[in-house]
Amino acid sequence: MENKSFKVKVGLAEMLKGGVIMDVTNVEQAKIAEDAGAAAVMALERIPSDIRTYGGIARMSDPEMILKIKEAVSIPVMAKCRIGHFAEAQILEEIGVDFIDESEVLTPADEENHIWKYDFKVPFVCGCREIGEALRRIGEGAAMMRTKGEAGTGDIVEAVRHMRSVNRGIRKLQMMNNDELMSEAKRLGAPISVIKEVAAKGKLPVPNFAAGGIATPADASLMMQLGAESVFVGSGIFKSEDPKSRAEAIVKAVTYYNDPKVLLEVSTGLKDAMVGMPAKSLPEEEKLAKRGW
């Protein structure tokens, strides 16, 4: 039964491939996202760059705003809960969201454990920086991964680092023989069953999307060419000067990620991107990507 329901969870992740999942904070933004061709929306009270400015504790959003967004659009609606906060996840499941993001963008509720995601009928997506973290989350039942990047910065550098790291980790596993895989499982702190599956297939058992810092059509194309199967765009759209045009351009850039002619067209004449901040300028303790164990 566990496997059967896991198949249904990963199935939805498969349907979201080749698309853009956009952070939205109200009904108006959700409609702009849907009209622009988003594959799904992430409903949250404050987008990551505002969470940074605002400070304080970032928690699950008010169910009322999530419900309003669910009513306003026909595409899948995702919402975030804090790492390890399974009670928030239970509430989100009760609302009927289509995917839960157990997200480092919110303030963690547990600094040792993540949610045991097999306990839920709703699928989960989790962030990762490298292969070990990805495989631990999949071991807990995550049906989709996303590389973390550094949310709210508009700086693509961490997203690139994490995507390259995960893919390098996969290639490394492919080169190892069975006796080496067990010690690698120990080193990575990840389940041997999942490690063997990745070594055999040369890819994660669930789709892997990119997140954290995507602000332009070129950023989206870069992540797709590096192996992302879809992209999450958080602050990049609604912190830009003309969100509607930018949203449409990023959607197009994901579909035609390897066609420079289309990329040139959609990149031309867009108003200003989000201002952003270099991820390097952040003090270590303010880096969201470090949350997750």
Instruction: Compute the least distance from the CB of residue 4 to other proteins, in Å.
Output: 6
User: Which CB, 253 or 279, lies closer to other proteins?
Assistant: 253
Q: Which two tokens stand for residue 134?
A: 């990805």
User: Which CB, 24 or 282, lies closer to other proteins?
Assistant: 24
DSSP secondary structure letters along 149-210: --TTS--THHHHHHHHHHHHHHHHHHH--HHHHHHHHHHHT--HHHHHHHHHHSS-SS-EEE
Q: Alpha-carbon distance 210 to 223, whole Å?
A: 7
Instruction: Compute the least distance from the CB of residue 252 to other proteins, in Å.
Output: 7
Those residues with Cβ within 8 angstroms of residue 168's Cβ, 6 or more apart along the chain or in another chain: 131
User: Which CB, 38 or 170, lies closer to other proteins?
Assistant: 38
284 SS3 class: helix
Q: Alpha-carbon distance 38 to 24, whole Å?
A: 11
Instruction: Compute the least distance from the CB of residue 73 to other proteins, in Å.
Output: 8
Instruction: Compute the least distance from the CB of residue 7 to other proteins, in Å.
Output: 7
Estimate the crossing angle of helix 217-225 against helix 157-175, to 10 degrees: 10
27 SS3 class: helix
144 SS3 class: strand
User: Which CB, 154 or 217, lies closer to other proteins?
Assistant: 217
Instruction: Compute the least distance from the CB of residue 57 to other proteins, in Å.
Output: 28
User: Which CB, 190 or 231, lies closer to other proteins?
Assistant: 231
List residues near other proteins by CB under 8 A: 4, 7-9, 11-12, 14-19, 34-40, 70, 74-77, 93, 96-99, 121-123, 248, 251-252, 254-256, 259, 262
Give the active site residues.
Answer: 80
Q: Which two tokens stand for residue 38?
A: 């988003």
Q: Alpha-carbon distance 249 to 152, whole Å?
A: 20
